Structure 1
Amino acid sequence: MDGEKMFQSYRIIDDVGGLSIYESVDFIFINDSLEAYFKEVKGTVHEFIHELINYPNFYEEYYNDTPKSREYLELAKEAIYREDCSKDELMEFICDGNSSHEEKLFILKALQGQVTEDDIVRLVKHFDSGFLIQNDYLVKELFSLLGKYRNEEVYQLFLDYFSEAVGQDSKVDELITAYFDNYYQ
């Protein structure tokens, strides 16, 4: 990377939900595109802040749990996954055991519009109804993604899940019902 692309600090979300600053030497850079970032130079330190959260009072709003700041931060994290990872990397991350629950949700959002039929089959095999019943945090986002595809594997997953978990979450029930209603159209 050229000198402008190297920077000294990077704001990132840690596991406890706080914003932290990390030195760039702690990371391996896989993408040097910084188009979505605001650059600020403080002496010899180059800071990059994603454009979605680069507004006055963001940090104050974030720590005061203001919905706008939380929403923008989630959109920024989703954009970072989409921009910095290939579809194959996202598929690998979502199917490995190393990604946190929160990361899996952002990965599913980042995968929207990128998956192929083979990816859908892989997701259905990986996230069977038994897994989803025990890990219901993923269901809405996964079913939102899968619901756009009309194939036997998705149909069977929705049927299996619905037969075991109907009534547990009205939003999920609505997604499944809409899928079945539109399946043959």
Structure 2
Amino acid sequence: MYIKDTNSIVYELIDYPEFLENFYNDDKKARNDLDKSQLKIFEEGLNADELTDLIASDDYSSDERIVFIRAIENKITNESAKILAENFQKNHNVEPELLLSICELLSKYQNQEVYDLFLKYISDDAINDDSVQNIIIDYFNNYE
């Protein structure tokens, strides 16, 4: 929900006088409020296709793309999962935080594109993250 504040519209979670000061002083509540606000804005304002395009784009940082991944969790379709898997299949330099988020998201979809992506990842000796490896192993163990 947005609040009309004089000449601007502000998301309600960050509409308090000390927000900016708290945010720049690394206050945990202010940072969490901003993260929640961004997530809600993307969830409410973008559909699965738009979020898929943003996640696949190299124009955004890994942190931004992780927010998009969180926003698409309840909207993603099998087709969106295929598109993302194909995109990440071509992308060779995926940062560890983004890799974990994308694997968590795609592990819910049993299709050839996700299977191929996870096969690539599990075969890649560069993946040293136990969490990612466990997600992929569970995926293959439960693949029907």
Same topology, TM > 0.5: yes
Query: How far does residue 72 in structure 1 lie from its aligned partner after superposition?
Result: 2.0
5 Å-filtered alignment, 1:142-181, equals 142-165=102-125, 168-181=128-141
Partner of 2:71: 110
Distance 2:138 2:17 in 1: 41
Query: How far does residue 126 in structure 1 lie from its aligned partner after superposition?
Result: 0.8
1:54 aligns with 2:15: yes
Distance 2:136 2:28 in 1: 28
User: In structure 2, do the counterparts of structure 1 residues 183 and 66 end up closer, same or farther at CA, with 3 Å as the change threshold?
Assistant: farther
Partner of 1:75: 36
TM-score (norm 1): 0.66
The one-letter amino acid paired with 1:99 is: Y
Distance 1:160 1:120 in 2: 16
Q: Which structure 2 segments of 5+ residues have no match?
A: none
Distance 2:13 2:133 in 1: 33
1:38 aligns with 2:3: yes
Distance 2:31 2:133 in 1: 27
The one-letter amino acid paired with 2:143 is: Y
Partner of 2:52: 91
Percent identity, please: 34
Listed one character per residue, the Cα deviations across residues 18-47 of structure 1 (whole Å, up to 9, x for unaligned) are xxxxxxxxxxxxxxxxxx112222xxxx22
What SS does the corresponding residue of 1:127 show, helix, strand or coil?
helix
1:120 aligns with 2:90: no
Query: How far does residue 127 in structure 1 lie from its aligned partner after superposition?
Result: 0.7
Q: Which structure 1 segments of 5+ residues have no match?
A: 1-35
The structure showing larger relative contact order (alpha-carbon pairs under 8 Å, at least 6 residues apart) is 2
Distance 2:134 2:15 in 1: 36
Query: How far does residue 156 in structure 1 lie from its aligned partner after superposition?
Result: 2.2
User: In structure 2, do the counterparts of structure 1 residues 68 and 162 end up closer, same or farther at CA, with 3 Å as the change threshold?
Assistant: farther
Query: How far does residue 167 in structure 1 lie from its aligned partner after superposition?
Result: 5.3
Distance 2:127 2:106 in 1: 20
Name the count of aligned residue pairs: 143
CA contact (8 A) 1:166 1:173 kept: no
- Runs of 4+, deviation exceeding 6 Å: none
The one-letter amino acid paired with 2:91 is: F
Q: Which has the larger radius of gyration?
A: 1
Greater fraction strand: 1
TM-score (norm 2): 0.82
Query: How far does residue 52 in structure 1 lie from its aligned partner after superposition?
Result: 2.1
